[in-house]
């Protein structure tokens, strides 16, 4: 199966559980399971090739300009991790089906889980670090959803936020580090980067890149001092904890360290940062875990400790240590997932996770006891389980490693950590399952159904089998993964066995087990000391840091963003003016190379009207109705100017838009205050005037400069003029540009127009269903109303006008391709024809006769335009390529057919629908009971006569 | 001629900016409309001013044409600015109807629930 498909399957399948939850919880979980299983099988199909030493790749160039390619590769390391992610994912899906209660939205859970799974698979299969970063951030986001799944629990929400803050900010650091790395090498492809060890390590940017990448890894893998988020993430449902914190999320950091190992490891700074951090984390996590009473808290800190162990092994930097790390990753995933699930079972059955309230469960829950015991012993490093093997390999490695020239530091601390590690593992068994049976469990414990214990049982079987036959079961996988980590086709031979003879590691193991028993024995005393000691509480520190950051950002935001929109607008104008001023004074001035056009009396008259009207709008803007009336003059002059300056299409469009805009504003003004009160101070008005005049002078100067000089570059207009008839079949170049050359733009614009109309409709719906409606219904009109709302003359006139106006619209539409006109103008004219009916005969009358919903008209317009565009595909041409031809029927003039006309029809319909929907929505505000008369005309002599006759007879 | 168009655009812009800086919604809407006129004419003017040369191809004789491209841009801009005006009118109207206040600054008492 293609790697693309493996990576995409969880994402594609994520929708299924959410949909299928309507068919029941089994359908939902089966869908999630089927998706994971399919991806898992796809992965296994690739496994033989990978184990033979090949690297499976899938390449897709995505944005080559910035080096972002959707390249995937599968080598041993990727196979190991993807196998863990998908395999354990399957077990978790089964487990979660029986763990989650009826109240939990299960569809959501599986959707989040699959999203997370997809992101994780994406990380481990990426062959491009930019792609990897995208998946990396996706894991942070999807794990946020999973950790906060129980939205009703404050701990869940806080834990999710903390995890997101820590891993997300670590991710940001890593983005920076990866970009530096990519710049050093000159490629973002992992396979290229991994071949350039010398180049990277000799670069002066090696250290910053390393530190930034490590911050990303350490935050994700909960290394000290970023470890604190992991225990708080335990507020998540147990399946999530088992998945995220045993096999996936926290292993992502380890994966990346392993992935980058060939080029980043092997230096002193790598060793001291990574190995030391791992060592400290391992010890600290192990100690704290002993004093956690929450089952999952104990496991969380034990996870921190084991992650530290693996980090330390990767930090040591030798191939053998890397192999031990890989082996321990497998082992830890198996026993820790089983332990988390067993903790979940205990919680599920006894309704508590508090160790102090548990004990003596071995007879009540024998199956769970067996599972938990085997897994715990493996975690403690007891033979013959798999944890023993990798822990012994780790101990062995520490004896060969010098830390600051000391032979003893590393082994001693490692043994110390192993002591505490054995201690909490024993405690998990002893304090939960052993001891006397109690009578005060919150619920009567008993073993759950197989749905819950099958998954962990399967994992402990693996624990035992790997412990007994390590070389047969995981040998090839470990070797192949190690080969990928050390970037060497011939890695050290994997040869794990239970009995090595009397080696230092064996003595260290024995010391650890003995020490662990001692820790368990002395637990009560140690705990008293621990509780008495003053310890820094990570959550408090985190909360106070976050609180300080929030306060600071709030102060900054409140200062800059005080809610005064006028101030923002003023700052915006001032800033634009400053930029323009800077450009003006730093640039060179071009002398006007183009002559000016002489102005006759007509343009001067128009100018006087326009400027006069504009100034009137400003001076009388407090009288809103008056300012609207004067604005009509401006629109009229602008359209006449367009016509005068060789733009007939613009003139037509402007004048029709003018009509609908003014009607719209008048309708709105009906509900608003008629006057604008004087509010601003003189100083403020002066400031605004200065800004306005500054802006006006700047724009005027710029316009003048453009108009009097020639283009710096040759324009592309010549192309349009030359090809309009030949290529587009029309002589009206503006229309051909709209429906043909730039058809895609036009297509976008009618969609925008449709969206605008639908927004208006939605706002209207929202307002009319709120309490505002009552106020509107009881509104008293501002002005005295006309006695005759629908005057006879007007009704008759508009009825007569209707077909004529529609005829004009049709005429304008059809001539559009060759003469001024087209879909936009025709649409506006048709809309005006309909609006006239609304105005004359009333809203109720018109709505009754308007049988097509305007939404539908908008939609059909967009669809017709889209289908016309797609028609070109059948012709083997790109979207929106038009076709045309000429038809000559004898007595008639030759006429043209063009698919562009069909496209223009779409434009026409969208414009009609949008304009009408907007105005109709606004008109609905005016509806009051009793205003809709029964008849179109309030006074109708014919009706009166008929009534009279009726009465007489 | 150029000076006429340039100054007209300047006056429209200045008036538009002044009205946009007012504190009630309605003058701001009128101001935005004026700015739309200014911007449309400005864009149109980048095609330079030519009289009696509409970009309608003449099949029979060779005549000059003005630049059609800015016209096509402005044509859609005019229609879109209608859509934009309609949307802000509705937003302003619904805000006024809900809060019984058409001030646009959200500083004082209206601030919290506005």
**Res. B113: pLDDT tops 50:** no
**Do A563 and B105 count as a contact with CB atoms less than 8 A apart?**
yes
Q: Does B43 contact A at CB distance below 8 Å?
A: no
> Which residue is listed with tokens 């709008």?
A617
pLDDT bucket at A752, cuts 50 / 70 / 90:
very high
Position A930 scores a pLDDT of 65
Residue A23 pLDDT more than 60?
yes
Helix A154-185 with A129-147: angle, nearest 10 deg: 180
Q: Work out the average pLDDT over A500-505.
A: 77
Cβ–Cβ of B93/A918 closer than 8 Å? no
Tokens of A354: 């508090």
Distance CA A291, CA A301 (A): 10
Which among B45, B46, B80 is the nearest to A753, CB-wise? B80
pLDDT of residue A936: 66
Chain B partners of A723 at a C-beta cutoff of 8 Å?
none
Kindly tell me if the per-residue pLDDT of A474 is higher than 80.
Answer: yes
pLDDT surpassing 70 at residue A933: no
Mean pLDDT of A542-570: 88
**Interchain contact, B82 vs A657, CB within 8 Å:** yes
- Are A720 and B78 within 8 A, CB to CB? no
Distance CA A824, CA A813 (A): 8
List the single residue in A617, A724, A742 with the smallest CB-CB distance to B30: A617
A360 membership: H or E segment, kind and range: none
Would you say residue A900 has pLDDT above 80? yes
Of A585 and A930, more confident:
A585
A942 versus A141: the higher-pLDDT residue is A141
* B84 in reach of chain A (CB within 8 A): yes
CA distance A682 to chain B (A): 13
Within a 10 A sphere around the Cβ of A195, how many other Cβ atoms?
15
- Separation in Å, CA of B110 to nearest CA in chain A: 11
Distance CA A575, CA A562 (A): 18
ipTM of the complex: 0.94
User: Could you tell me if A772 and B97 are in contact, meaning their C-beta atoms sit under 8 angstroms apart?
Assistant: yes
| Residue B88 pLDDT | 92
* SS3 state at A409: helix
Measured between beta carbons, the chain A residues lying within 8 angstroms of B91 are 763
CB–CB of A731 and B56 under 8 A? Answer: yes
* CB-based contact A615 B12, cutoff 8 Å: no
Partner residues linked to B24 by β-bridges:
B103
The pair of structure tokens assigned to A883 is 């076709």
State the nearest Cα–Cα gap between B78 and chain A, in angstroms.
7
Question: Given A597, A604, A668, which is nearest B93 (Cβ)?
Answer: A668
Alpha helix locations (H) across A100-205? Answer: 106-125, 129-147, 154-185, 190-193, 197-202
- pLDDT tens, residue by residue, A366-409: 888 999 999 999 988 888 888 888 888 888 888 888 777 787 88
**Chain B residues inside the 8 Å CB shell of A628:** 30
- Tell which residue, A60, A46, A47, has the closest CA to residue A1: A46
The answer to whether B57 and B68 are in contact (CB under 8 A) is no
pLDDT for B110 beyond 70: no
Q: Is B4 on the interface with A (CB under 8 A)?
A: yes
Q: Chain A contacts of B66, Cβ < 8 Å?
A: 645-647
Q: What is the mean pLDDT of residues A90-95?
A: 91
B94·A763 Cβ contact <8 A: yes
Instruction: For chain B, positions 10-29, list CB contacts with chain A under 8 A.
Output: 10-27, 29
pLDDT-based confidence at residue B107 (cuts at 50, 70, 90): low
Which CB contacts under 8 angstroms, 24+ apart, belong to A411-417? Answer: A411/A504, A411/A508, A413/A279, A413/A282, A413/A283, A414/A279, A414/A282, A414/A312, A414/A508, A415/A508, A415/A511, A415/A512, A415/A515, A416/A283, A416/A515, A417/A279, A417/A282, A417/A283, A417/A286, A417/A305, A417/A308, A417/A309
DSSP A718-758: HHHHHHHHHHH--SBHHHHIIIIITHHHHHHHHHHHHHHHH
Does the beta-carbon distance from A596 to B2 stay under 8 Å?
yes
What sign results for the dihedral spanned by CA atoms B99, B104, B110, B114?
positive
Q: Which residue of B has its CA nearest to A922?
A: B90
**Contact between chains at A721 and B57 (C-beta distance less than 8 A):** yes
Distance from CA of B32 to the nearest CA of A (A): 12
What is the band of B108 on the pLDDT scale with cuts at 50, 70, 90? Answer: low
Q: How far is B97 from chain A (nearest CA, A)?
A: 6
- pLDDT tens-digit profile of B65-103? 888 999 999 998 998 899 999 999 999 998 888 888 888
**What was the pLDDT predicted at A114?**
92
Domain ranges of chain A: 271-521, 563-581+598-677, 732-953
Taking the C-alpha atoms of residue A759 and residue A561, their distance in angstroms, rounded to an integer, is: 26
User: Nearest to residue A145, comparing CAs of A50, A2, A43, A18?
Assistant: A18
Which positions in chain A touch B27 (Cβ < 8 Å)? 621, 624, 627, 676
Res B112: pLDDT: 40
Q: State pLDDT tens for residues A631-677.
A: 999 999 999 999 999 999 999 999 999 999 998 998 888 888 888 88
Given a cut of 50, whether residue A797 has pLDDT beyond it is yes
The percentage of residues in chain A with a pLDDT greater than 90, rounded to a whole number, is: 30
Point out the residue among B11, B33, B57 whose CB comes nearest to the CB of A611: B11
Among candidates A923, A729, A909, A750, which has minimal Cα distance to A835?
A923
CA A263 → CA A190, A191, A200, A492, distances in Å?
11, 11, 7, 19
A558 compared with A611, residue with greater pLDDT? A611
Gap from B62 CA to chain A (nearest CA, Å): 12
- Given pLDDT bands bounded at 50, 70 and 90, which one contains residue A122? very high
Instruction: Name, in order, each residue with C-beta under 8 angstroms of A301's C-beta and a sequence gap of 6 or more.
Output: A231, A285, A286, A288, A289, A292, A424
B65 shares contact with chain A (CB less than 8 Å): yes
Indicate yes or no: CB of A922 within 8 angstroms of CB of B84.
no
pLDDT in tens, A687-701: 999 999 999 999 999
| B29-71 pLDDT tens trace | 999 999 999 999 999 999 888 888 888 888 888 888 888 999 9
- Is B101's Cβ below 8 Å from some Cβ in A? no
Residue A722's pLDDT is 86
| Confidence check: pLDDT of A753 > 90 | yes
Q: Are A703 and B33 an interchain contact pair (Cβ–Cβ within 8 Å)?
A: no
Give me chain A's average pLDDT, please. 87
**What is the Cα–Cα distance from A768 to A764, expressed in whole angstroms?**
6
- Angstroms from B40 CA to nearest CA on chain A: 10
Kindly state the DSSP code that residue A74 receives in the 8-state scheme: E
Q: What is the CATH number of domain B2-51+66-104?
A: 1.10.287
- Whether residue A699 and residue B65 make contact (CB cut-off 8 A), yes or no, is no
pLDDT given for residue B105 in this prediction: 80
Residue of A557, A564, A565, A577 to mutate for B, most B C-beta atoms under 10 A: A565
DSSP sequence for A440-474 = --SS------HHHHHHHHHHHHHHHHHHHSHHHHT
Q: A-chain residues within 8 Å CB-CB of B113?
A: none
Which pLDDT band holds residue A679 (cuts at 50, 70, 90)? confident
Counting every residue written for chain A, the total comes to 953
Distance in angstroms (rounded) separating the CA atoms of residues A88 and A84:
6
């Amino acid at each position: 199966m293609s790697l693309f498909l493996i990576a995409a399957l969880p994402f594609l399948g994520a929708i299924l559980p959410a949909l299928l939850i309507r068919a029941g919880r089994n359908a939902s979980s089966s869908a999630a399971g089927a998706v994971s299983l399919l991806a898992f099988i796809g992965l296994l199909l690739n496994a033989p090739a990978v184990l033979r030493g090949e690297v499976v790749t899938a390449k897709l160039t995505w944005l080559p300009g910035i080096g972002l390619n959707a390249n995937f590769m599968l080598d041993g390391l990727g196979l190991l991790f993807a196998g863990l992610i998908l395999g354990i994912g399957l077990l978790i899906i089964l487990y979660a089906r029986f763990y989650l209660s009826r109240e939990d939205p299960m569809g959501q859970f599986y959707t989040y889980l699959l999203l997370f799974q997809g992101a994780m698979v994406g990380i481990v299969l990426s062959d491009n670090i930019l792609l990897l970063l995208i998946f990396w951030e996706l894991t942070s986001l999807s794990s946020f959803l999973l950790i906060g799944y129980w939205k009703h629990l404050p701990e869940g929400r806080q834990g999710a936020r903390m995890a997101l803050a820590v891993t997300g900010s670590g991710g940001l650091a890593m983005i920076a580090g990866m970009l530096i790395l990519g710049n050093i090498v000159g490629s973002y492809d992992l396979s290229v980067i991994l071949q350039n060890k010398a180049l990277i390590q000799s670069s002066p940017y090696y250290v910053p890149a390393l530190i930034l990448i490590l911050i990303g890894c350490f935050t994700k893998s909960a290394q000290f001092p970023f470890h604190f988020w992991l225990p708080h993430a335990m507020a998540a449902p147990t399946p999530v904890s088992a998945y995220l914190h045993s096999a996936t999320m926290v292993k992502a950091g380890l994966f990346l360290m392993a992935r980058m190992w060939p080029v980043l490891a092997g230096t002193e700074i790598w060793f001291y940062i990574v190995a030391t951090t791992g060592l400290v984390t391992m010890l600290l996590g192990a100690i704290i875990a002993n004093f956690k009473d929450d089952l999952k808290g104990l496991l969380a800190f034990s996870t921190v400790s084991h992650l530290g162990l693996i980090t330390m092994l990767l930090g040591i930097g030798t191939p053998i240590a890397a192999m031990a790390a890989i082996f321990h990753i497998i082992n830890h995933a198996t026993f820790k997932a089983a332990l988390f699930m067993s903790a979940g079972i205990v919680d599920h059955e006894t309704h508590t996770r508090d160790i102090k309230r548990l004990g003596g469960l071995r007879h009540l829950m024998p199956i769970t006891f067996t599972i938990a015991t085997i897994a715990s012993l493996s975690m403690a490093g007891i033979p013959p389980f798999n944890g023993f093997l990798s822990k012994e390999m780790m101990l062995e490695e520490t004896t060969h490693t010098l830390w600051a020239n000391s032979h003893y530091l590393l082994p001693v601390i490692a043994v110390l950590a192993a002591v505490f590690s054995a201690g909490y593992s024993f405690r998990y068994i002893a304090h939960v399952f052993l001891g006397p049976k109690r009578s005060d469990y919150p619920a009567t414990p008993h073993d759950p159904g197989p749905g819950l214990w099958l998954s962990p049982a399967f994992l402990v079987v693996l624990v035992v089998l790997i412990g007994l036959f390590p070389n047969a079961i995981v040998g090839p996988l470990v070797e192949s993964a190690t080969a990928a980590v050390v970037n060497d086709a011939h890695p050290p031979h994997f040869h794990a066995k239970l009995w090595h003879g009397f080696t230092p590691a064996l003595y260290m193991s024995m010391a650890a087990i003995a020490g662990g028993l001692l820790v368990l024995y002395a637990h009560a005393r140690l705990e008293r000391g621990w509780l008495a000691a003053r310890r820094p509480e990570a959550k408090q520190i985190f909360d106070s840091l976050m609180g300080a950051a929030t306060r600071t950002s709030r102060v900054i935001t409140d200062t800059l963003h005080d809610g005064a929109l006028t101030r923002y607008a003023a700052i915006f104008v001032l800033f634009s003016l400053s930029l323009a001023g800077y450009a003006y004074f730093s640039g060179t001035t071009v002398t006007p190379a183009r002559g000016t056009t002489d102005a006759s009396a007509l343009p001067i008259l128009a100018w006087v009207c326009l400027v006069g009207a504009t100034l009137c709008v400003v001076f009388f803007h407090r009288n809103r109705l008056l300012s609207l009336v004067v604005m009509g003059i401006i629109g009229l002059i602008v359209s006449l100017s367009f016509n005068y300056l060789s733009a007939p299409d613009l003139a037509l469009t402007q004048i029709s838009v003018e009509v609908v805009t003014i009607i719209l504003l008048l309708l709105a003004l009906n509900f608003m205050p008629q006057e604008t009160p004087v509010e601003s101070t003189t100083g403020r008005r002066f400031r605004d005037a200065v800004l306005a005049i500054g802006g006006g002078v700047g724009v005027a100067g710029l316009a003048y400069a453009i108009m009097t000089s020639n283009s710096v570059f040759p324009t592309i207009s010549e192309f349009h003029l030359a090809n309009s008839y030949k290529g587009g079949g029309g002589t009206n170049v503006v229309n051909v540009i709209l429906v043909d050359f730039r058809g895609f733009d036009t297509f976008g614009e009618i969609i925008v127009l449709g969206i605008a109309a639908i927004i208006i409709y939605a706002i209207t719906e929202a307002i009319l269903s709120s309490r505002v409606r009552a106020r509107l219904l009881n509104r008293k009109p501002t002005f005295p109303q006309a006695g005759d709302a629908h005057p006879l003359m007007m009704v008759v006139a508009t009825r007569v006008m209707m077909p004529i106006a529609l005829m004009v619209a049709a005429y304008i539409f059809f001539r559009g391709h060759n003469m001024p006109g087209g879909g936009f103008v025709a649409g506006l004219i048709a809309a005006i024809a309909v609006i006239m009916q609304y105005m004359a005969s009333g809203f109720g009358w018109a709505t009754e006769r308007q049988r097509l919903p305007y939404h539908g008209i908008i939609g059909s317009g967009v669809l017709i335009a889209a289908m016309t565009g797609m028609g070109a595909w059948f012709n083997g041409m790109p979207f929106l390529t038009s076709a045309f031809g000429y038809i000559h029927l004898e007595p008639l003039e030759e006429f043209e057919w063009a698919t562009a006309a069909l496209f223009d029809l779409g434009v026409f319909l969208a414009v009609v629908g949008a304009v009408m929907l907007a105005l109709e929505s606004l008109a609905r505000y005016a509806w009051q009971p009793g205003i809709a008369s029964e008849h179109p005309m309030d006074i109708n002599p014919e009706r009166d006569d008929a009534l009279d006759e009726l009465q007489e007879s | 001629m150029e000076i006429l168009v340039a100054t007209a655009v300047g006056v429209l812009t200045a008036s538009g900016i002044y009205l946009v800086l007012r504190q009630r919604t309605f003058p701001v809407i009128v101001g935005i409309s004026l700015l739309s006129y200014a911007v449309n004419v400005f864009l149109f003017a980048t095609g330079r001013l030519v009289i009696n040369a509409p970009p309608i191809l003449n099949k029979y004789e060779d005549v000059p044409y003005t630049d059609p491209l800015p016209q096509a841009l402005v044509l859609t801009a005019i229609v879109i600015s209608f859509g934009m005006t309609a949307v802000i009118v509705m937003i302003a109207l619904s805000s006024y109807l809900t809060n019984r206040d058409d001030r646009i600054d959200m500083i004082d008492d209206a601030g919290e629930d506005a």
